[in-house]
Every structure is written in C-alpha cells, then in structure tokens.
Chains A and B, each alone.
Chain A
Amino acid sequence: MLPRRSRLSVLIFLLPPVALYCIAVLFPILQSLFLSFFSWDGISDLQFIGLDNYVHMFTGDVVFWRSFANAIGYLVICLVLQLGGGLIVASLLTTLRRGREVVKTLYLLPAVISTVAIAFLFQRIYSVDPVGLLNQVLQWVGLGGLARPWLSDVNTVLAAVSVPEGWRFTGLYVLIIYAALIAVPAELEEAARLDGANAWTVFTKIRFPYIRPVWITTVIMATTYALRGFDIPYLLTNGGPGQSSELLTTYMYKTAFTSTNYGYASTISVFIVVECLVAVGLIVVLLRRKADA
C-alpha cells in the first residue's frame, strides 16, 4: 500500500494521460454516438432522425452485412497467421540454440515497414502483368494453372488483402509469445518429462496454461487490430472488386468521406466500437472459463 502522499502523486501523474485518453478516445466515441442519431452531410444543419440510421444499417443495407462478413473473414485469417503462426514460430525459436536474435529481427522487420510500402510490395507480388512473385513461383513449381490476378478475383481477394496484414504483425506476436514461453520454469517442464509427458502434453498442460495471461492479451490485441484493419485493404483494392474486400472500416470511411453521410458513418463506427467490445468480452470470458475448467 502506498503512503497517502505517494498515492496523491500517482493520481496527479495519472491525470494528464487519463485526460488525453478522454479527449482522444472517449470524446470521439461519444461524438460518433451522438452523430449516429442525425442525418448530416457536413455543411447543412444536423437533422435528428432518431434510430433511422440503425434501422437502415441492420435491415436495409446489404453492403453493410457484406462488409461485416468480410471483416470476420479478414479477422480469422489475421488471427490464424498472427497468433497461430506466432505461436508456432515462437515455440520453434525456444528450441533454437543459435541465431535467435537474427530470426527475431527478421520476423519483426515487416512490422516496422510503412503500410504504403507493404501495400506496394504486395501489389507487385500478386500482379499478373508484369508477372508478380506469387504467380512466377506457381509457374516454377508447375502450378501455373493456379496463377491468377489475386486482387481482381472475387474468390481470392479477401485472403489476398488479409495475408499482408497477418504477415506484417506475426513477428510482433512471435516476440511477445516467445518472451512468455522462455519465462516458463524449466524445472516444471523437466519434471513433466520425467513423468513421461511427450512434447504435446508438455505444451498443452504446462507451457500453454503458463502463458495463458499473455495469450489473452495477444488475442485481444490481434482481434481488435484486425477488426479495425483498414489501411492495407484500402490501399490494395479500395474494397473491390465490387465489395469483395470491403471491410466495415473501409465502408465507414467511404460513407463519411465520399458520400459525406457523416451520420450514417458514425452509426457504422459505433457498431465497430461495440463489435470490438463484444469481441474482447467474449475472449476474456471464454479463455478465463477454460482456465477455470
């Protein structure tokens, strides 16, 4: 327990970041909530329309539901790459005796490259004319029949815009999970092995339960980032072809800044906030319940 004076100091020091958080995060959310009850083009007077925006969004807007479905697909691909890939690479890293730092740096590299550069990079990788890396490799390995314009094909575009986002931050999650894994006491694993546990049992019974708090954090981070994903899909395809790679975020952006329908865009943004909160709530409840079980 901190002495009274120290507690006061802590409160005083906490005040500026809390104030900043309120201004930068809470205020815009509340403002979006407010605007979602209005019809507003930015230059005319605000017109109160009650719940009309919400009614339209849930019952009359097929693009919204298409974007929502795409956002879930995008989320799944990102999570598989970032968390699944991250966990596998981090586990393999713990077995590595030499060169760990080099591997970690290489994996982290994409996270520090600018989004625009990544978008350009993948545009080239997926390109069909001039032939991009992916189609070239497919031809080299005799799978030329699979070569296609990945960003123009409605069946592949969602995966094609999700992969760069997943790939980009895999290194970050590798680092976090790796840090958690090396903190697992070696004697626990050793004892388990002496009792005859195989690698899988050690992982599921010792390692994973031990890193569960870190895992919850990474799942929450990756989920909320993926639900808010915007830049790479926007730069690569702008949601197209058609609405095949339209996410809620890109749809919201277009509604606000192309259609100048700020009221409806705010409604979509409120949905995104609620969606993130629900996702975080579900993750915490599910993973905690599993831990208690």
Chain B
Amino acid sequence: MTRDTAAAALALTLTGCGSSGAGSGTTPGDVNPSGAIVPRAISWLLSRPADGGVITAMKQIADEYAKSHPGFSLNFITTPDRPSYIQKYETLAAANKLPELFDTDATPFAQKLAKQGNMVDVDKLLKDLGLYDSYRPAALDYQRFDDGSLYMIPFEFQMEFFWYNKALLQQAGVSVPTSLDDLPATCTALRKAGITPIALDGQDQWPLERYMAYHPFRTAGPDYIKNLKKGQAKFADDPGSSAVDWLNQLGQAKCFEDGFSSTGYSDAQALFTSGKAAIYNIGTWELSSLATDKLDPSVRSNVDFFTLPTTANSVTQANEFVSPSGIGMAVNAKTFDPLVRDFLKFALTEYPKVYAATGALSPTTDVQTTIPSNATPLYQKAVDEASNLGKQLAMPWDTQLDPTSNTRLQQELTLLLQGNVSPSDFISTMDQTIAENGPKAFQQ
C-alpha cells in the first residue's frame, strides 16, 4: 500500500473539501509562474470565526476581484474550532488534497509540508509582490519556522494584555503587580477579600499554557523554548524549574477560579466582565468586548490593562510580550498559478485598509486602525501599544512544542495548578516526554 492509498483511505472518514486541482502547480521558489490568468473557483481552508474581521474583509475583497475576473470565486471552508480544524487540515494534507490556500501555525508538521515543496515561499512571494516591507516585522517573525524561513502570511496582529478591574484590586488593597513574582501575593490578597483573582478559560488549555511561557521568557528569553522543545534544554534547568515553582505558587494561592479546568472561554470572560474576577489575560481580539460600550456599565470605567510584568532578573524588556499574528495562511505550491498569484496581489494590497477599518490591528504598518465610535479611551490606549513593542517575541508554547509534548504539557499543567502533582513530578514527566518526542519531531 502506498502512502497516498493509505492517506486517501484515511481521508474517507472525513469531510473532504477537495482542491479544484485546476492549477498547474509550481516549485515553491517560483513565485511568479508564467501563463495567462484564467479565473476559476479557489478555496481557502481556514480556522477563523465565520463572522470575524478576517473573513468579512476577505469576502469583500474576493467579491471585488470577481467583478473584474468573471468566473473567479473564493470559497471559505472554515472550522473555527482549532482541534477540529487541525484534524481536517492534517488529514487533507495526508491525502494530498489541500486547497489553494490553507491556514496553519508554524508547527513541525507544517515545516515538513514546506520541506516537501507543498507550500509557496512566502518570503519570496511578498518581496516579489512588493509588499514585504509593509508588514510589521513581529507579525512576520511570528509566522517563521525556527530556521527563519517564512511560509505563512499573517492576517492579523494582536497583543495580549492583563486586563484588570481597578476597583477590585483597590478593594483587596493591592496594586498592579510589577513583577511576575508578585502575582501569587496579589492572588492571596484578592482571595482573602473574597474575589476571584484571575479568570481563566482552562477548558481550551492554551490560556493556561501562556502562563507556562511567561516566566522563562522573562528569565531566559525566547531561546529557552526553542532549545527546550528539541530536548537541548530541560525543565530541570533554572528557567524551567523557577517557572514551575512560580506556577506552583499560583496554584497554591488559588489564582484561578474554582473549577477553572472545565471553565470555557465565554464563562471565563463573563467572570471578568461581570466584575467577579479581578484579572483576565486575553488579546486585543477582545477589544470590542472589553473597551467599548458593550461592556457592563458598572465595570466599564474600572477596567484597565497592564502588560506582562517582568522579573527581578529579566532578560527581556517590559515592552516585549506575547504579540501573535494569529494562525497564518499558507499557499499551496501544487495549485499555485498566475490566477492565485494575481488574486493574492490584489487581496494583500487591499486587505490592510479594509481590515483596519473594522477596528482591528493590521499586520502591516501602512494603515491606521479605525477606532469604533462606541469605544472607551482604553481602545486607543491598547492600539497605541503596538507602536511601543520591543523586538523579542514571547511565543505561545502551543505553537512551539511538538504536538505530543504539547498535549502532555497542557494536561500536566492543569494537574500542577490544581495541586494534583508536585513540581518535581511535573518536571520529570515533562522532561521525559520531551526527550521522547521533541528531538524526533524537530530532526530535519
């Protein structure tokens, strides 16, 4: 049985979106294939909210392009739930049935696809289209593989803040933590005052994993995770063990709401927006909920944010924190032809202004975000942070680790924070898991 037969059989169980296959295909380095532009229907397999800013903007742009290119259409196949999306995307990749455009993070799996020549070199493509320099370096860097190569196009730019309720902090007699190491004490004080310290969506697991990333980013910089994931650094090393101790302290101080591991996204947010929880760590994609008049009036004037606190021996700056450019869009090299190139040129040129008009931060620097009319002053303050950002990126660990180690880390983190495993057990389990899976996943 060949790989393709096995893959096709595997794909039988899943909904296929099937590529049109009309394109002639190209080598990944050829970003300007010759030939006529023949309009046809193309598809984008993506993992974004159906009514979100990216899809809305791209729909509008695709419709405009179709007016001058009769016969063209862009079919959006969206699966916002990320685990379901990944299942679909990886199965279609296995069956060699990926459509013209598809979303992916810079995972080891995506890197394999790129190495096999399935993805267009986006670095070259953006330069060839004359658009490269308009992108925020941080937005592009977020999409890069470890070797610096770029195969995904960013469509958004976000910054993750700690939103807090000034009144609740005041009630507990604490001020905004200036160091990560102050956070456990802040939680203890808030708990004593009967306030839930931090609202956390534990069900989706990535929000808790952010807390795993913070301490090492401050004490050892962005390279720690890059080494850790390959087994070249260990949790038992200083940055890792300090981070685990810190997390253990967060758990002991009951920083997160009771039953956080089964609290979903909207329930966690409701804890904060209803004034029950004092702190909520989330990105600028929630600006419309946290910095507009949609927010409960009783809480609205009390909301502010602070950025990731540093530590005493911090090697990264206060203006460097998690600023993701979201899941990226890859271009299928097998179906890349003059039409796909032409459409991308049109779309990527138009996109920043259409997207920024929705009140979102564009991944480029050539447009200004339109502040919505119902925004609170906090909206502008949050948007302004983008221009103060430092150079080093705090990468979310779920996009860094190999998937098996990542799953185990997410599971063990919950247990650590709930007090079900000791820090030393956590460290030995994770070091063993990464030693088994990391080097294998990242060997090239």
Contact = CB atoms under 8 A, between A and B. Distances in A.
Tell me if chain B binds chain A. yes
B403 A260 contact: yes
Interface string A217-251: 00000000000000000001111111100000000
Contact of B112 (A34, A43, A238, A254): A43
Contact of A257 (B90, B267, B408): B90
Given A28-B9, A258-B83, 9 more contacts: A42-B10, A42-B90, A42-B94, A46-B6, A149-B259, A152-B262, A238-B203, A239-B411, A260-B109
Interface stretch (B20-28, B41-49, B308-316, B414-422): B414-422
A258 B403 contact: yes
Contacts, number: 114
Nearest to B274: A130
Interface string B256-270: 011111111001000
Interface string A163-180: 000000000000000000
Interface string A114-130: 00000000010011111
Given A129-B258, A154-B415, A242-B420, A254 B407 contact: yes
A262 B90 CA distance: 11
Contact of B93 (A43, A239, A259): A43
B91 A42 contact: yes
A31 B9 contact: yes
B257 A259 contact: no
Contact of B418 (A31, A44, A152, A255): A152
A262 to B, nearest CB: 7
A41 B111 CA distance: 13
A75 interface: no
Given A258-B403, A260-B109, A242 B411 contact: yes
Interface string B366-377: 000000000000
Given A241-B414, A261-B404, A31 B259 contact: no
A268 interface: no
Given A43-B94, A129-B258, A257-B90, A154 B418 contact: yes
A93 interface: no
A195 interface: no
A126 B407 CA distance: 24
Contacts of A242: 411-412, 414-415, 420-421
A267 B402 CA distance: 21
A262 B9 CA distance: 12
Interface in B261-310: 261-264, 267, 271, 276
A35 B113 CA distance: 21
B10 A240 contact: no
Nearest to A46: B3
A261 B436 CA distance: 13
Interface in B164-213: 196, 202-203, 205
23 contacts: A40-B3, A43-B94, A43-B109, A43-B116, A126-B262, A127-B262, A128-B258, A128-B259, A129-B257, A129-B259, A151-B259, A152-B259, A237-B262, A240-B261, A241-B261, A242-B414, A242-B420, A243-B411, A254-B407, A258-B86, A258-B407, A260-B90, A260-B109
Contact of B262 (A27, A41, A149, A239): A149
A238 B84 CA distance: 12
Interface in B81-139: 83, 86-87, 90-91, 93-94, 109, 112-113, 116
A265 to B, nearest CB: 10
Contacts of B260: 152
A292 interface: no
Q: Which of A31, A236, A238 has the most CB of B within 10 A?
A: A238
Given A43-B93, A43-B109, A149-B259, A129 B83 contact: no
Given A241-B418, A259-B404, A41 B112 contact: yes
Contacts of B205: 238, 240
Nearest to A147: B258
B1 interface: yes
Contacts of B3: 40, 44-46
B17 interface: no
Contacts of B403: 258-260
A259 to B, nearest CB: 4
B7 interface: yes
Nearest to B113: A43
Interface string A121-162: 001001111100000000000000000110110100000000
B420 A241 contact: yes
Contacts of A238: 203, 205
Interface in B5-21: 6-7, 9-10, 13
Contacts of A258: 83, 86-87, 403-404, 407
Interface string B407-444: 11001101100101100000000000000010000000
Nearest to A155: B420
B385 to A, nearest CB: 31
**Complex A-B, nearest 7 residue pairs according to Cβ-Cβ distance, in ascending order:** A149-B259, A42-B94, A151-B262, A257-B87, A242-B415, A152-B259, A259-B404
